[in-house]
Chain A
C-alpha cells in the first residue's frame, strides 16, 4: 500500500500549481498527446491486433495521467474524485488543455464513443466502464499481446504483474489514485505490487461505492467533534470512505479496511482512507484485558476426582459403623469379645506388616521402641503409633461417632442412613439411639490413621466452622454493613428531593393561580419529606458512629490484652478505618446539603426551622409546628401572588388580575388567622 514519498509530494506541488490557475506544463500536455495517440493507435491495436509497441506504452501513459489528475484532486480534495459532481474549480483546471485539443477527436478506447473533451472522456470512463466486464477481457487481450510481443524485447521498460491490472509502470512517478486508497476506479490503474499483500490482490475487484459521500457545500466544517475547522484547500476536504462525512486532513488521516457494503472487513476488505471516528470505532480496536475462565474445566476435573474420593469416604464410614455395631452387640452380650480380632480383620484386609519397613505416612523406619508397627483399622495400612507424628491414634468410638454426625443436622436422614447400613449388615439392633454417646465405660477405642481421619472428618469439621458462629468482629461488621447499606439507599433519595425542591423554586413560569397553589403544596410536601428523611439519616449516622466507636474500644482493649490473633486485629483495624472513612465522606455530603439551597434563603430558613423543631424537643408540639409550617407556606404563597399581580399589571392582563386579587385576599385572611392563633411567641413577626 505504501507509495513513494517523493511521488506524493510531487503530485501535491503540481496540484498546487493547478489550483493557482497556472496551466500545468507537465502532465496535461502529456495527457493530451497521449490521448491523441490513444485515439488513433490503441484503437488500432485493438482492432488490428498489430500495434507498434510504443503506442501501447503511450496507451498506458494516458491512463496514468488520467489517474494522476485524479490523485492530485482527491488527495487535497479540492474538488472531487468522483467526476459526476462537476465542480467549477475542476472544469477550470481542465480548461487550458481542453482548449488546446478542442479540434481533436477523442474516442473512448473501450466503446469507441466520441468525446469532445478530455474531461468528458474521464467522466465517461468513470461512469460507464468502472465495472465494465469486457474490460477484463480487454486487459487479458492486452496482456497476452504483451506477453507475445513485448516482454522479450522490452522487459526492462514494461513489466506485467501477475494478476489483474497489476501492471507496474517503468516511470514510477505516475502513481495510483490516492495515497490511502486501494481504490480501483480505473481498471488499469497502476498498483505498486511490492506493497500489496496476497489478500489485497485477491480483492482488487472490490470497489467501494461513493454514493454515501456527503456533497460539499463550499462552507463545510470538519465533522469531527470539537474540531471546528472550515474545510477548504488548506485544511483539506476529505470524505471518509466509510461514513461519507467530510473531514479536515488531520481527522481523515486514517485507514481502515472495508468491503463494498461499507462494513468493516479486516479479512476481505480493502484499505481505504477513513476518519478518526471510523478508525477508532472499528470492532475489536479497543479490545483489552483478555481473560480465560477455567472454572468449568476445573469443576469438571474436580467432580471426577471427588466422586471417587466420596466413594472412598463412604467405604470408610461404613467400616466405622461396623465397629460401632459390633461394640453395641458386645455390650448387649450378643458377641464375645475374643472374636474382636477376627472381626477387625474381617472389616478390612490388613496389609502384610512384614513387607513394610517404613511408616506409610511419615516414612520413618519402624523399630521396637517409639516406632511400632500398627494397622489402621479402617484402611488396613501399616503406620507408626508415634504420638509425636500423630500418624495413627486410638480414638474412642463414641467420639468418632460424634464427629461422624457433624453436619447431619437432619436427624431423620441420619437414622435412615444408619438403618440402611444396618439392614445391609444384618445387625439387629432395635430401640437403640444410634447417635447418642455411649456410656463411658463402654467406650472402646479403635486405631485409625491420620489419612482416614482427614478424609472422613476434614470436610465435616470445615463445614462446621463455616456454618458456626461468627466472631464478635464479624458480628460488628455485619451491623455496620446494614447501617451502611441503609444510608447508601437513603442518601441519594434525600439528595434527589433537595434537588427537586431547588428545581421547583427555579421554575417561575406559572400562569395560573392553581399552578402556584400546586407548587406551594408540593413545596410543602417536599419540605416535610426532607425533614423526615433527615431525621432518619441522622439516626443512622449516630448508630453507625456509636458502633464504630465500640469497635475502636475493642481494638484498644484487644491490643492491650493480646487475646486475639494478629489477623483478627488487622481485620478489626481495617473495618474500623473503612467505617470512619465512610462516616467522614458521607457526613460531609450530608452537611453540605443545606448549602445547596442557599440561593433561596426562605427555604433554607424553612429547613433550618424544621431542623430546630426536630432538634429541640421543647418546640415540637405538633400543633404549633403544623400551623407554623402552614403559615410559612401561606406567606410565601402570598408573596408569590403579589409578585404575579404586579407582573400582570405590567402586562395589562386584567382578566388574571381579578382572580389573583381574590386569591390574595383569601391568603391574607388565613395568614391573619394563623398569626392570631400562634401569638407572638411562635409567630414570625
Chain B
C-alpha cells in the first residue's frame, strides 16, 4: 500500500497504453513516420492531482508536448496529434468533453477518468462520438491527492467548507469525500470493514455513506473482483475532535515545520513573500520522489535537519572547489560531464538553505523554543503550578528563563496572539478538571493583552465542545508522553527523547490497538459492506486505512511513516479532509464557533414573540 508506487503505476498507464491501439491501427505504416505527439487535457480537478504525482519532464519524455485544460476553448485544431484526457467524471467535465468530441481538435482521444463513470455518462459520450475518435475509455481511480507515500488528502479544489455546523457535514463536501475515499479503496484494491468513532456523528455519517456507496458499486468489475484477504482490511474513521491537542502543538520535523511556518499546498511552498528571493525559488516544489535530500530529511527534527543541511552544503562546497579551478583539461572535462548533476545539486542546496533559514527566522521571531517547551509540558506532564507560572510569564511576553535580566526580557520579541491563545487552550483542555484551574484569570490576562472578545469566547467554546465530556476516551491517550513502554507485538514510532517532541498523538495508541485486535467494539462500531468477512472486532488488522475527519497533520503522518517502518506486519495509510497546521485548525474552530453562535441566536429567536422575530429578520436583512 504505497501511494507513490500506485500513482506512478497510474501515470505509466496514462502515458504508455496508447501503444496497443496504435499498433493495431498503424501496423502497416512505418513506425518512424507515425510520431505520436500527445496532448494532455485535464480539468480543474485533475490538474492538481497530476501536478503532485508527475513532472513536466516526465510527461515530455513520453511525448506529451502540450498540456492544457479541457475547458480552454482557445485551443487550436491540431488534427495530427493524439489526445489523452484525464478527467473527473463530474457533469461539468463530461459536458466539456461532449463539446470537444463533437468537433474534435485532435485525431484520437484516450479518455481516462479518475473515479467511477456512470453508465449514463458513458452512454452520453458514446452518443456524441460521431467521428469515432475515442479509442479508449478507462477508469484509473486517483481522485485524491497523494502527499506522501502513506499520506493522502481530499482533492478539495473549490475549497468547499467541510462543516455545515459543528458536528455535521457540508453535504456537497461530504459527497466529494465519499467519492474520494471510494476511489482510494478501488485503487488500493481493498474492500474494507469500516469502523468509526462512536461519539462522532460526522464519522458515522461518512462511514454509512461510504458503506452504501461500496455496496452500490459492488458489481460491474468494481469491488467484486477484489481478492479476499486473510484479514479484512480496515478503514478506520476518526474524528479530529477526539484529539484537538495534536494540531495545537508546534511541530519540529522538517515537513511539518514548513507547513506550520510557511505553508505547503499541493506539495509546493510559496516563498515569493520573502524579500530578495530569486525567481527560481519563489515557488518551490517539495516532493520526496524528485528530491532525494528532501526524502531523507522530511521526517528529521530541526536539529538533525540543520546538521544534514550543513553536510549537504559542505558536499556542495567540495564540489564547487574542485570545479573552481579548471586548470587542466581534465578538470574541465569532469566539470562538463557532471554539469547537469552539478546544477541540480546547486539548485537543491539553495532551495533547502533558504527554507531552513526561513524556518529559523520564524522560530526566533515567534520565540517558538519557549512556546513549544511549555506546549510539551502542558500536553504531557501533570505539573499544574509550574505550568501556570510559565504560562503567565509567556502571556505577559516575559521569558520563562529566570536567568535573564529585566533589560534582556524587554528586548525579546512579543509572542504572537495566536500562540498565546493556543497555550491557553492547551491549558484549559489539560487542566479542565483540575480543582485549582485558573482559566478565568488567564482569560483576563488575554483580554488585557488586547485579544478580542470573540477569540476569548472561542476558547470557552473549545473547552465546552472539545472538552472531556465530548471526547471518546480517557486522557491517557490524548496527553501521551513518549515513553519506551513495550507493547508486545507492536513497535512504537518514537525512539528519541527530544523535549520538544515528547507528546505522542492519540493516533498511535489507536493504531497500536487496531494492530493487536484490541479496539473495543463499544467505542469503534463496525460496518461491513462485505459479506466476505465476518464482523470480528478482535481481528488483528494487517492493512489499515485511517481517515481523520476534520483533517490530519504532518506530525501524525510522520508517526504513521515510522510505524510502517517498524512494523512490517501491518501497512498503514493516513488521510484526512486536509492537512492541518495550527493556523488552519484555529480557522476551522473559529468558523465552527461562529456558526454555532449564529445558530444559537437562531434558536433563541424561536423563543421570541412573532413581532420580535419579524423585527430581527428585518435587522438581518438591513
CB distance from B465 to the nearest CB of A (A): 35
Bound complex: CA of A290 vs CA of B130, how far in Å?
30
| Bound-state Cα–Cα, A455 to B226, Å | 44
Q: Let me know if B540 is at the binding interface, CB within 8 A.
A: yes
Q: Is the CB of A466 within 8 A of B227?
A: no
Query: Residues of B contacting A309 with CB < 8 Å?
Result: 130
Contact with A along B32-65 (1 / 0, CB 8 A): 1101010000000000000000000100110001
Chain B residues contacting A566 (CB-CB under 8 Å) are 74, 76
Q: Given A279-B569, A298-B122, A577 and B66 touching (CB < 8 A)?
A: no
Determine the chain A residues whose CB is within 8 A of the CB of B117 once the complex forms. Answer: 294
B221 within 8 A of A: yes
**Could you say which residues of chain A place their CB within 8 Å of the CB of B141?**
290-291
Contact indicator per residue, chain A 458-471, by CB within 8 Å of chain B (1) or not (0): 11001001101011
A353 at the interface (CB under 8 A from B): no
Task: A295 to B2: give the CA distance in the assembly, Å.
Answer: 28
Of B6-14, B195-203, B271-279, B316-324, the one with at least 4 CB within 8 A of chain A: B6-14
Known contacts A301-B126, A481-B32, A571-B66; A288/B340 CB under 8 A: no
- Also in contact, A485 and B32, with CB within 8 A (given A253-B489, A256-B230, A292-B139): yes
- Which of A62-70, A146-154, A190-198, A326-334 is the interface stretch? A190-198
A465 near B132 with CB under 8 A, answer no
B538 at the interface (CB under 8 A from A): yes
> A571 near B65 (CB under 8 angstroms)?
yes
Distance from A304 Cβ to chain B, minimum over Cβ atoms (Å)? 8
Contact in complex: A591, B337 (CB < 8 Å): yes
Residues of chain B lying within 8 A (CB to CB) of residue A255: 230-231, 540, 542, 569
Closest Cβ–Cβ distance, residue A370 to chain B (whole Å):
26
Q: Is the CB of B6 within 8 A of A574?
A: no
Query: A291-B10, A455-B130 are known contacts; what are 10 more A-B pairs with Cβ within 8 Å?
Result: A255-B542, A279-B568, A288-B2, A293-B137, A298-B125, A309-B130, A462-B104, A466-B80, A474-B35, A570-B65
Q: Count of chain A residues with Cβ under 8 Å from any Cβ of B?
A: 72
Q: Contact: B13 with A474, CB < 8 Å?
A: no
Q: Which residues in B have their C-beta under 8 angstroms from that of A290?
A: 141, 186-189, 226
B518 close to chain A: CB less than 8 A: yes
Contact A477 B517 (CB under 8 A): no
Give A269 to B228 CA distance when docked, in angstroms: 12
When the two chains form their complex, are residues B9 and A194 in contact, meaning their CB atoms are under 8 A apart?
no
| Residues in B neighbouring A470, C-beta threshold 8 A | 80
- Interface pick from A2-10, A317-325, A524-532, A547-555: A2-10
Q: Are A297 and B122 in contact (CB under 8 A)?
A: yes
Is B536 interfacial (CB 8 A cutoff)? yes
- A482 beta carbon closer than 8 Å to chain B: yes
Max chain A CB contacts within 10 Å: which of B78, B136, B336, B488? B78
Do the beta carbons of A474 and B37 come within 8 Å of each other?
Answer: yes
- Given the complex of chains A and B, what is the CA–CA distance between A290 and B2 in angstroms? 13
A284-323 residues with Cβ-Cβ distance < 8 A to B are 284, 287-295, 297-298, 301-302, 305-306, 309
CB within 8 Å: A-B pair count: 185
- Chain A contacts for B164, CB-based, 8 A: none
| Chain A proximity of B34: nearest CB distance (Å) | 9
Instruction: Report the separation of the CA atoms of residues A571 and B9 in the bound assembly, to the nearest whole angstrom.
Output: 26
Q: Decide: A482 and B129 in contact? CB cutoff 8 A.
A: no
A282 lies within 8 A of chain B by Cβ: yes
B326 within 8 A of A: no
Please determine whether B538 and A289 come into contact, CB atoms closer than 8 angstroms: no
Instruction: Tell which of A305, A566, A591 has the most Cβ of chain B within 10 Å.
Output: A305
Closest to A564 in B: B76
If A199-B534, A291-B139, A302-B132 touch, does A478 touch B5 (CB 8 Å cutoff)? no
Q: Is A607 an interface residue (CB 8 A)?
A: no
Cβ of A1 < 8 Å from any Cβ of B? Answer: yes
User: Shortest CB–CB separation between residue B154 and chain A, in angstroms?
Assistant: 19
The reply to whether the CB of B461 lies closer than 8 angstroms to some CB of chain A is no
In Å, the complex CA distance between A465 and B106 comes to: 10
Find out whether the CB atom of A301 lies under 8 angstroms from the CB atom of B123: yes
Q: How far is the CA of A466 from the CA of B77 in the complex (A)?
A: 11
Cα A295 to Cα B136 in complex, Å, equals: 5
Chain B CB within 10 A, most for which of A306, A458, A567, A585? A567
Interfacial chain B residues near A570, Cβ < 8 Å: 65-66
Q: Given A462-B131, A471-B80, A474-B80, A266–B229 Cβ distance below 8 Å?
A: yes
**Residue ID in chain B nearest A572 by CB atoms:** B65
Residues from chain A with a CB closer than 8 A to the CB of B125 are: 298
A279 proximity list for chain B (CB < 8 A): 568-569
Check if A48 is an interface residue, CB within 8 A of chain B. Answer: no
B76 surroundings in chain A (CB, below 8 A): 565-568
Instruction: Kindly state whether residue A254 has any CB partner on chain B within 8 Å.
Output: yes
> Smallest CB–CB gap between A95 and chain B, Å?
30
Q: Does B75 lie within 8 Å of A567, measured CB to CB?
A: yes
Q: Closest Cβ of chain B: how far from A241's Cβ, in Å?
A: 13
3 closest A-B pairs (Cβ-Cβ)? A301-B126, A284-B227, A289-B9
Report the bound CA distance from A466 to B33 in whole Å.
Answer: 14
Task: Name which residue of chain A comes closest to B74, CB basis.
Answer: A566
Whether A1 and B540, one on each chain, are in contact in the complex, defined by CB atoms closer than 8 angstroms, is yes
Q: Are B126 and A1 in contact (CB under 8 A)?
A: no
230-257 of chain B: CB within 8 A of chain A: 230-231
Residue contacts A-B, CB under 8 angstroms, 20 given: A1-B540, A2-B516, A195-B517, A195-B536, A253-B489, A266-B230, A269-B230, A290-B187, A291-B140, A292-B221, A294-B138, A298-B122, A298-B137, A306-B130, A465-B79, A466-B79, A477-B35, A478-B35, A571-B78, A574-B65
Once the chains are docked, how many angstroms separate the CA of A463 from the CA of B373?
Answer: 71
- Look across to chain B and name the residue whose beta carbon is closest to the beta carbon of A310: B130
Find the A residue at minimum CB distance from B126.
A301
Interface string of A174-199 (1 = CB under 8 A from B): 00000000000000000000110111
Q: How far is the CB of B447 from chain A (nearest CB, A)?
A: 50
Closest CB of chain A to B409's CB: distance in Å? 51
* Assembly CA distance A440 to B617 (angstroms): 76
- B127 CB-CB contact with A under 8 Å: yes
Chain A contacts for B466, CB-based, 8 A: none
**A338, B186: Cα distance in complex, Å:** 69
Tell me the smallest distance from the CB of A188 to a CB of chain B, in Å.
23
A276 contacts chain B at the CB level, 8 A cutoff: yes
The answer on a CB contact under 8 Å between A466 and B517 is no
Name the distance in Å between B223's Cβ and chain A's nearest Cβ.
10
Q: Which residue of A lies closest to B225 (CB)?
A: A290
User: B501-539: which residues lie under 8 A (CB-CB) from chain A?
Assistant: 516-518, 534, 536, 538-539
In this complex, which of B79, B103, B221 has the most chain A Cβ atoms within 10 angstroms of its Cβ?
Answer: B79
Q: Is A30 interfacial (CB 8 A cutoff)?
A: no
| A584 contacts B by Cβ under 8 Å | yes
A420 and B118 alpha carbons, distance in the complex (Å): 44
